[in-house]
Amino acid sequence: MTLSKGNYFEPELVSDLINKVQGKSSLVILSQQKPIPFNGQKEFTFTMDNEIDIVAENAAKSHGGISIDPITIIPIKVEYGARVSDEFLYAAEEEKINIIKAFNDGYAKKLAKGLDLMAMHGINPRSGTASAVIGTNHFDSKVTQTVEYTAADPDANIEAAVEIVQGSEGTVNGMAMSPVFSSALAKLKVNGVKQFPELAWGANPGAINGLKTDINGTVSAVGSKDLVILGDFASMFKWGYAKQIPFEVIKYGDPDNSEKDLKGYNQVYLRSETYLGWGIMDASSFARVVTV
């Protein structure tokens, strides 16, 4: 048996891929990428259970206590492939590079959207159904702190969600919201004055009231009840690529199970694979605004 990993994107294409994903995924915009080992890794949340204690002269010291909670982040393999004419193989070298860059650009968009759909809702992006591979490792499953959406006062919904997180001694430094919720905020008026004019006409200003924000349809995609996810994205959500990002040109067989032999149809198959991992370190550091 021959073991192979495919050809890897050139470093500049890998960097280009990552940069494009950073500009299109809400989770990536609000959090920070961390390299993930191919075989996965454990992250630990370290908690001191009590507050500091005053000790009187000659008095006994008491036990404060600590807790360590391990979170395992395992990369999941995702892929995208497409058939092209075998003239691709005979094109000039610079034209092949253009084709690869175009494929890279399209794949980055799909990868960015896919990361949000997987980590927010636990679904397989292609089928739109729950993924057994992801299991419960997603916001809809782990984040049980929710606020019911009220169209009459969406600002109050945000305040209530922030209050929940802060009540759990968490920090709110990022928010992802759906276009539906953004539109409701844009329409909100007090005494005839719009309270969030920066959201008018579908704008995505990057921050609202000083809070880092991204507006993205992935928040409420595929029938999700989510309208807002907010919390400590800077510290309590981690994601990253494993180093391997293979790209290959397949010349033989039926790699997409379409029952059409590549040689028989004068085609080749372009395929890219990425290993993505993520973890929600503390679910109580997040809250969701949801419809009922």
Nearest 5°: the CA angle 28, 33, 37 is 135
The whole-chain average pLDDT of the chain stands at 89
Positions of the chain with pLDDT under 70: 1-6, 38-39, 44-47
Domain covering 7-45+68-290, topology: phage-related protein like fold (3.90.1690)
pLDDT tens digits, 29-64: 999 887 777 667 777 666 677 777 888 877 888 877
pLDDT at 2: 43
Ordered by start, the domain boundaries in the chain are 7-45+68-290
pLDDT of residue 6: 62
Query: Rounded CA gap, 197 and 187, in Å?
Result: 8
The 3 state secondary structure assigned to 33-63 is ECCCCCCCEEEEEEEECCCCCCCCCCCCCCC
